[in-house]
Amino acid sequence: MPHTRSKSRRGCMAAEGLRADDPQARALAGAYAYASATFIEHYISQSKPQRARELADYVVATLQGLSASARAGLSRPRVTSVARLAGLAFDTFLTTPELSTS
C-alpha cells in the first residue's frame, strides 16, 4: 500500500496534490481526481445507474480520507483495516435504498 510505505511521503499523490500551493500541481491533481471520479461513477452506473453519483462520491471521499489518514501517520495495518470496513460498507450500500438528501 503506497499510502503508508514511506515515512516522509505518505498519502496519495493526487489527493494530497489537491491541496498543493503550486497552482499547476493543484490543477494537474484536480484533473486526475476528476478523471478518476468520472471513471468510478461510470463503472458503478453499469449496475446501479440510479445510485452511481452517490456511490462514486462515497468511494472518492473514502479514498481521500484514507490518504489523509496515511498522511497523518496512521499505520499500514490500521489504514488497511479501515479500507476493509469501507469495502464492507460499500457492499451494504449496493443493496440498500438510495439515501434521502432532504
Q: Where are the domains of the chain?
A: 9-95
pLDDT at position 96? 82
Q: What is the pTM of this model?
A: 0.76
Helices 52-71, 23-45: inter-axial angle, 10-degree rounding: 140
d(CA 69, CA 72): 5
pLDDT at position 11? 66
pLDDT at position 6? 56
Q: State which residues of the chain have pLDDT below 70.
A: 1-11, 13-14, 99-102
